[in-house]
Structure 1
Amino acid sequence: MTLALLFPGQGSQAVGMGVALADAFACARDVFNEVDEALGQKLSTLMREGPEDQLTLTENAQPALMAVSAAAARVLKVEFGVGVDRAAFVAGHSLGEYSALCAAGALSLTDTARLLKLRGQAMQRAVPVGQGAMASLIGPKTDLALAEAAAKVGAEIGVCVVANDNNAGNIVISGEKAAVDRAIEAAKELGARAILLNVSAPFHCPLMQPAADEMAAALAAATINAPVVPVVANVLARPESDPEVIRRLLVEQVTGRVRWRESMEWMAGEGGVTRFAEVGSGKVLTGMAKRIAPNAESAPLNMPEELEAFAKSLG
């Protein structure tokens, strides 16, 4: 068995996430307290009690999702003796790449929390609310070629690109509102269904360049160590362990495409991964894994009993 650990991104947040871990394990509570201290806010209380609209704010959702992933990884290590080094690779979807780097020891928990808080704020600042949009193109006819063709039509009147290549049947476009609207019409004509996403900014497109510039400055000052296992980077869809390359890729990731389908295909193919475990809130990546790599085992790890069963299954 070859294992890869996956770390979820925005959209997996929910009020109550991490509560079962915090109630069951002191080491999980320690993680949440450390994140609260790093940010100077009671993020753990927001995660436990809501309100949902505050938790969903990008600047809160990003560090909160990371905190749950970090807590789950810490419980695996401290309570069940399963370190991240048992995996061949780690990978995270968008902000989840920071969670993966934190779990693999490349970034400290404090630095990761602060970087993600800034990342969320910078992304929100980059484009005034209402000027940008994102849309999910879905359905059996939806593939990368269709999405790129639709985005190209949108790009005739403004910025519009493929932002997230999640899996066949689920691809996200991003850009200026009018351009995305035009791309949606084109996608429908090509046989896809399209849903405007309830997001506060158009992530992973050139409009995010101001946020990328802010993150470049912040990351330049951050300590990045070599991860204990390679991190499959969003913008490369290949593993990377060099700290300076990782620093550059995290900047590129702000405006660049999340190449998740390709990342998963590489791990299940050349990487030889036969088992995927999603560490953190929700099970979005588990669902994607089952579609992209149906021959591999995949399961979410966010409840105490799931972590315990997973650790026992490793022997």
Structure 2
Amino acid sequence: MATTRDIGATPFAALFPGQGVQRRGMGAHWRGTPSWSLVDTVSEASGHDVAELLLEAGTETLARTDLAQISVFTASLLSWTEFRDAHPQARVTAFAGHSLGEYTALVAAGALTAADGARLVGARGRAMADAARHRPGAMAAVMGADHPGDVEELTARVRRDGADLWVANLNSPQQTVVAGSPDAVEAAGARALANGWRYSVLPVSAACHTTYMTPASRALAMALDEVTFRPTHAPVVSNVNARPYTEGRAWPALCARQLISPVRWNDTLHTLVSDLASARFTDFGPGRTLAALARRVFPDVPAEPVGGGRPIVYK
């Protein structure tokens, strides 16, 4: 286990997960702790009963886009707040979040207040759910290709056949997520399996990070006009272009673009290590998805989750 001295001495990148890591009872660890006051803040700002979502909501409820997003945002923020209060000397080089997690990263980095972050997450989740109802989509992870470019070429071939399909997440050299119409995702699966790749359809009904989310991007842009980003903040690496930003004025445009742009997570991890000198990754939130992805991209860089009361254990 990393000691308090280790945590203070080793610069690390703080990572925040997106939708998909939610699970029933994921907030139980923080109930009754000082950080639990955040739940009231998020509930009031977002219009959701977040305590119910974190403690009692079942799998079906948490599968809803809007409810999943506000739940994961809050659980990740509770994890970060508890860590920060316990280790004020910790040296964070930069922050990054996968899709929804970018909003948690912005709050943790000081670009947004928790209330404004919750307002945006609430608006974002509702806009995405509405866009998916009007234009249902699908997503699937493709694994086993020799290079992410091979998957991009596959999506291009499907589009040339007249179907809607795009790359949505460039997660690691071994994993690329595609998204589009349900028929296109099914066609891409057949092509992927014919190539000897693995293919897993995700349990969502939206084509996130594609042009299917254009109406949601417009709605989110209006919500972004109603919040204030702080002029300067700690570095946050953007999903859109994997570049670090420290000025709040950049984020309204980046957040709106993020909904219709691929998440460049693999490049984001490289930026954190190569450009921002991050010597470790710490995954704040339910599950351990981002820690696992980080280890695939950088096997020699320690990466561990701390959500749900798990200690930091660097191996």
How does the TM-score come out when normalised to structure 2?
A: 0.91
Q: Tell me which of 116, 129, 134 is aligned to 2:139.
A: 134
Alignment of 1:1-315 (within 5 A): 1-23=10-32, 25-26=33-34, 28-82=35-89, 86-128=91-133, 131-139=136-144, 141-156=145-160, 157-226=162-231, 228-304=233-309, 306=311
Instruction: Look up the SS of the partner of 2:20 in the other structure.
Output: coil
Instruction: Give the stretch that moved more between structures: 96-105 or 172-181.
Output: 172-181
In the alignment, the residues of structure 2 paired with residue 184 and residue 40 of structure 1 have an alpha-carbon distance, to the nearest angstrom, of: 38
Structure 1 position 207, deviation (Å): 1.0
* Conservation of the 8 A alpha-carbon contact between 1:90 and 1:230: yes
Partner deviation per Cα, 1:102-158 (whole Å, 9 max, x = no partner)? 11111111111121111111112113377311111112x353112101111221222
Instruction: Look up the SS of the partner of 1:13 in the other structure.
Output: coil
In the alignment, the residues of structure 2 paired with residue 194 and residue 176 of structure 1 have an alpha-carbon distance, to the nearest angstrom, of: 16
Structure 1 position 189, deviation (Å): 2.5
* Conservation of the 8 A alpha-carbon contact between 2:285 and 2:307: yes
* Conservation of the 8 A alpha-carbon contact between 2:148 and 2:175: no
Identity, % of aligned positions: 33
In the alignment, the residues of structure 2 paired with residue 114 and residue 174 of structure 1 have an alpha-carbon distance, to the nearest angstrom, of: 27
* Conservation of the 8 A alpha-carbon contact between 2:136 and 2:205: no
* Conservation of the 8 A alpha-carbon contact between 2:11 and 2:278: yes
* Conservation of the 8 A alpha-carbon contact between 1:153 and 1:183: no
For residue 263 of structure 1, what is the amino acid of its counterpart? T
Shift in alpha-carbon separation, 1:270–1:202, aligned structure 2, 3 A: same
For residue 188 of structure 1, what is the amino acid of its counterpart? L
Shift in alpha-carbon separation, 1:131–1:55, aligned structure 2, 3 A: closer
Structure 1 position 81, deviation (Å): 2.5
For residue 94 of structure 1, what is the amino acid of its counterpart? S
For residue 268 of structure 2, what is the amino acid of its counterpart? S
Partner deviation per Cα, 1:190-211 (whole Å, 9 max, x = no partner)? 3312122110211000111000
In the alignment, the residues of structure 1 paired with residue 81 and residue 232 of structure 2 have an alpha-carbon distance, to the nearest angstrom, of: 16
Instruction: Give the stretch that moved more between structures: 283-292 or 266-275.
Output: 266-275
For residue 21 of structure 1, what is the amino acid of its counterpart? W
Structure 1 position 35, deviation (Å): 1.3
How does the TM-score come out when normalised to structure 1?
A: 0.91
Shift in alpha-carbon separation, 1:304–1:195, aligned structure 2, 3 A: closer
Structure 1 position 170, deviation (Å): 1.4
In the alignment, the residues of structure 2 paired with residue 268 and residue 78 of structure 1 have an alpha-carbon distance, to the nearest angstrom, of: 25
Instruction: Look up the SS of the partner of 1:258 in the other structure.
Output: coil
Instruction: Look up the SS of the partner of 1:153 in the other structure.
Output: helix
In the alignment, the residues of structure 2 paired with residue 88 and residue 106 of structure 1 have an alpha-carbon distance, to the nearest angstrom, of: 15
Aligned equivalent of 2:5: none
Structure 1 position 249, deviation (Å): 0.6
RMSD (Å) for aligned C-alpha atoms: 1.8
* Conservation of the 8 A alpha-carbon contact between 1:18 and 1:302: no
In structure 2, stretches of 5+ residues that fail to align are 1-9
For residue 288 of structure 1, what is the amino acid of its counterpart? L
Structure 1 position 3, deviation (Å): 1.1
In structure 1, stretches of 5+ residues that fail to align are 311-315
* Conservation of the 8 A alpha-carbon contact between 2:54 and 2:75: no
Structure 1 position 186, deviation (Å): 2.1
Instruction: Look up the SS of the partner of 1:277 in the other structure.
Output: strand
* Conservation of the 8 A alpha-carbon contact between 2:26 and 2:308: no
For residue 242 of structure 1, what is the amino acid of its counterpart? E
